[in-house]
Structure formats: C-alpha cells, structure tokens
Amino acid sequence: MSNSSKIFLTALIVAVIVGGLGFAAGFFGRELLVRATPVVPTTAVVQVVTATPSPITPTAAPYAPSATPVPSEPTAVAGPTSEAGLEPAFSLFWEAWQRVQEQYYGDMPSNQAIVDGAIQGALNELGDPYTGFLDAQVAAVERENQTGSYGGIGAYVSMKDGFVQIVGIIKGTPAEEKGLHKLDYILEADGVSLDGLSIYEAISHIRGPAGSTVHLKILREGQEAFEVDIVRAQVEITPITYEMRPDGIAYIQLSDFVTNNPSSLVAAAYEEMLAQGPKGLIFDLRSNPGGYLEEAVLTAGLFLPSDSLVVTERTRDGTEDRRITRDEPIAPDIPLVLLVDGASASASEIVAGALQDYGRATLIGETTFGKGAVQLVNTLSDGSELRVTWARWFTPMGRAIHGTGLAPDIEVPFTQEDLDAGKDPQLDRAVQFLLTGK
C-alpha cells in the first residue's frame, strides 16, 4: 500500500472514530434510535427507526402519579478522545498491518473492509451493545424497515441468547404459508450460519428481492432442526388489526410505532368501535419492537389527560427533556388492559410505562424487553451508520426502563405448548380481567 493510501485510510479511520466517540459531548444534531440490542435481557429486536424530536418545555402534569419520581445519578462525562492521542496507536496499527500484508498467505480484504473492521473493533471496546457501526449494506436494510414495504419472508425476528428467533409472523406472507411459527429459531440462511452475526447482518441474509428463494434451517422447541425453501415476496406491513369481540371487548393490536402514523390508526380504530359500546379495551403491544418517540407520546395521549408527563429523556450530564401529552384524550375512562411480552420494546415500553404509572391501564403478560437507551443515529458519507448512546428514558414515576423492562401487573407466561395448542392464555386473562375486574 502506498504512503498516500496509508495517510488517507488512517485519516478516514481516525476521523470516524474520533468523531463518533465525541458525538455525545459534541452536540451533533439529534436523532433518536428507538430500537437496539439491550444489555439485559440478551434479546435484540429487529425494528430500528429514527425520528428527529422537537424541544418541549417541561410542564408539570396535573394528573400526576402518586409516587414521587426517583432521580437517577447522571453518568460522569468523559472528555473526547484527542486525535493526537490516537496517533501512536495507529502507528502500531500500521506496523501490524504492514506485517500482515507482507506475510499473510491468502486473499487480502478491501480497504473498505479494513476501515469497517477498524471502526467496529474500536466501538466494541466501549462495551456498549447499543453503540455500534452498520456498514452501508446493513444500514440500507435498516432504512428499508421504515418504508413499510420490503422483500422478505414476512417474519418479525429478534436476537435471543445469540440466536435469531421469530417473534411474530405477518399474516398472508410466505413465512405463514410455509408454516413458520413464533418462537422458531432461524439457524442458517442459504447455508450461512447466523450464529454470532448481529441482528442486522442476519436480516440481510434472510431478506432479498421478491421472487427469489431463501433456504432456511429452522429449530423448533422439542423437535429436530429442519430445512425449508421460502420464496420471498414483497411484504407490505399493516401495523394494526382490530375487532369488536362477541363478548363486548374491543381489541386493538399494534405491531410497531413506525408505519402509517400508528397513533392515528389506533385512534381511528377505537372511534370506530366506540359506537358499539365496548365494555373494555385490550391494547396488544406484544412483540411490538418500538418506533418513533413522538408516536409513543401521541399514543399514550389517547388515554391520558393533556399535559401529562409520558417520558423523561435524561442525558449523561443530567439534562432532562420531558415529553408531555398535548391533546385531550379520546379514551380517558374505558377499562384498559395492555398486553406485553419480552419483545415489547422501546416505544412500546414508553406507552406501557406511562399508562402503568398513572394507573390508567393494567399490564398483563410478561416482563418487557428493557430498551431505554437512546442513540444518536449518524449517517456517514458512504451510507453506513454510526450509532452512539447518549441518553436514557425514564417513566413518569422515574422508573428506569433500560436493562430491566417493565414487570406486568398480572404475569401470564406464553409457552411453546400454548402456541402448539393454538391457545393464547395472555389474551384470555385480559378478557377475564375486563369482564370480572379481577
């Protein structure tokens, strides 16, 4: 490699790493990542979206929780790494890489691969699974998530214990037609093991152009692994389903807080069923991976009085941004149950946490995902993305969402046996609660 190439590549790596590590302290333009891999539990959810919020003046909520908010200690702020401090380290880098070029028997990676690997390796040293680098190809997959339409099999997936697990199947898609189930694990795609890949890399192997075929290896609890060929289709995401049940309970299921202004969809569904005089409402947020922060606030505002605090975003220096409801609620009084599970994350947890804190809804199901860290999403010049953790979310009562999740008021597990038998004990328990009050 020529000296000029070395200088260019070194400058590029240093610029990206130094800039990335200093973003939180350097006041770059804000964008919120509402979905990523948590520390605890070890489950990563696929849907990752960004939104640019507007500043909101903190306002006292007249409809306040009874408990006093508990402040959290701000994280100490470290100074940004200096470019001068990295120069000796990169001298060693080039010394080592020169030896590799001279001695390695095999194909050498491209300059781009070297840059991507250097960035990812440096970010790994932070020990934060939320702060990371997505190369241009993987970042493109994530941006496609936000369109509501993509070429794929029609399954929502997450990362559990290092393996890709299906957490939901979209009706009428190839995944449903081929008999894939919620809780199935996808071990391989076209002979490539997905073990050890990031969730974004795994998705890039599963997705592809409509009409193409992907060969998957599937593991289902209690069975031997099996293989299946699936012809991908253009999947159109319809984020909401709803019905007025024969027992008089209104039911709304929302699959994300991204597609087609979901808060407006929820409002329209509720108002349509309101004419039938529902006895109560079940709002199903199970396997909902999150979405736009503003949509979470608007959705919570459908059930809470105006000027109610929904969530507090606290940066590492202790600065707070309090998000409150602005409009009058359309459903302030109807008995309400929220269904949640281990894949209910981020924006879902913001809504659930607020409604639980105010006593406006009863949470039934399983402890939620625990994603309450906020990332700056920075699109780099080649289309890759750098994501840097810079804040945490707290419920109106000051409860931390991150790493712990929200415990339901009534815990009801959902097992593989329930799935195989076509049962939904969580939904059944929600109906029982609304009809009997216990």
Residue 397 shares a structural domain with residue 316:
yes
Given this model, what pLDDT does residue 144 score? 64
Give the distance from CA 131 to its chain's centroid: 14
Residue 140: inside a domain = no
Residue 388: in which H helix or E strand, if any?
Answer: strand 385-394
Residue 351: inside a domain = yes
Strand 362-365: give its sheet, edge to edge.
Answer: 240-244, 249-254, 280-284, 336-340, 362-365, 410-411
Mean pLDDT of the chain: 80
User: Which residue of the set 255, 346, 348, 384 is catalytic?
Assistant: 346
- Pick the closest to residue 409 from 370, 371, 353 (CA basis): 353
State the Cα torsion 149-263-55-314 to the nearest 10°: -90
CA end-to-end distance (rounded Å), the chain = 72
- Pick the closest to residue 165 from 233, 228, 219 (CA basis): 219
pLDDT band at 149 (very low <50, low <70, confident <90, very high): low
User: How far, in Å, CA of 400 to CA of 340, rounded?
Assistant: 17
Residue 213: inside a domain = yes
Which of 217, 236, 255 is at the close of a domain?
Answer: 236
Residue 223 shares a structural domain with residue 329:
no
Range(s) of the domain holding residue 159: 149-236
**Tokens, residue 285:** 């947020």
pLDDT for 193-220, tens place per residue?
A: 998 777 777 888 898 888 999 999 999 9
Residue 55: inside a domain = yes
Residue 335 shares a structural domain with residue 221:
no
Residue 156 shares a structural domain with residue 196:
yes
User: How far, in Å, CA of 47 to CA of 15, rounded?
Assistant: 29
In this prediction, residues 124-139 reach a mean pLDDT of 81
User: How far, in Å, CA of 203 to CA of 199, rounded?
Assistant: 6
For the ranges 108-112, 234-238, 342-346, the lowest mean pLDDT is seen at: 234-238
CATH number at residue 413: 3.90.226.10
Domain count of the fold of the chain: 2
User: How far, in Å, CA of 30 to CA of 23, rounded?
Assistant: 10
pLDDT for 21-43, tens place per residue?
A: 232 222 222 223 333 322 222 23
Residue 141: inside a domain = no
Which of 236, 258, 274 is at the close of a domain?
Answer: 236
Residue 142: inside a domain = no
User: How far, in Å, CA of 287 to CA of 344, rounded?
Assistant: 5
User: How far, in Å, CA of 396 to CA of 58, rounded?
Assistant: 12
In order, the DSSP letters of 2-50 are: -HHHHHHHHHHHHHHHHHHHTHHHHTPPP-EE-----SSS-EEES---E
pLDDT for 403-417, tens place per residue?
A: 899 999 999 999 989
Pairing assessment for the beta strands 149-152 and 410-411 based on DSSP bridges: unpaired
Greater confidence, 274 or 239?
274
User: How far, in Å, CA of 215 to CA of 237, rounded?
Assistant: 23
User: How far, in Å, CA of 438 to CA of 435, rounded?
Assistant: 8
Which of 210, 236, 262 is at the close of a domain?
Answer: 236
Long-range contacts of 229-232 (CB under 8 A, 24+ apart): 230/153, 230/174, 230/175, 230/178, 231/174, 232/151, 232/152, 232/153, 232/174, 232/207, 232/208
* Furthest CA-CA distance within the chain: 77
Of all residues in the chain, the percent with pLDDT exceeding 90 is: 48
Given this model, what pLDDT does residue 146 score? 60
**DSSP code, position 367:** -
User: Which residue of the set 204, 217, 371, 384 is catalytic?
Assistant: 371
Whether 371 is catalytic is: yes
- Pick the closest to residue 190 from 206, 177, 203 (CA basis): 206
Q: Which of 147-151, 405-409, 420-424 has the highest mean pLDDT?
A: 405-409
Residue 129 shares a structural domain with residue 165:
no
**Tokens, residue 183:** 């809780």
**DSSP code, position 342:** T
Residue 14 shares a structural domain with residue 62:
yes
User: Which residue of the set 160, 284, 357, 384 is catalytic?
Assistant: 357
CB distance 75 to 385 below 8 Å: no
In this prediction, residues 68-91 reach a mean pLDDT of 52
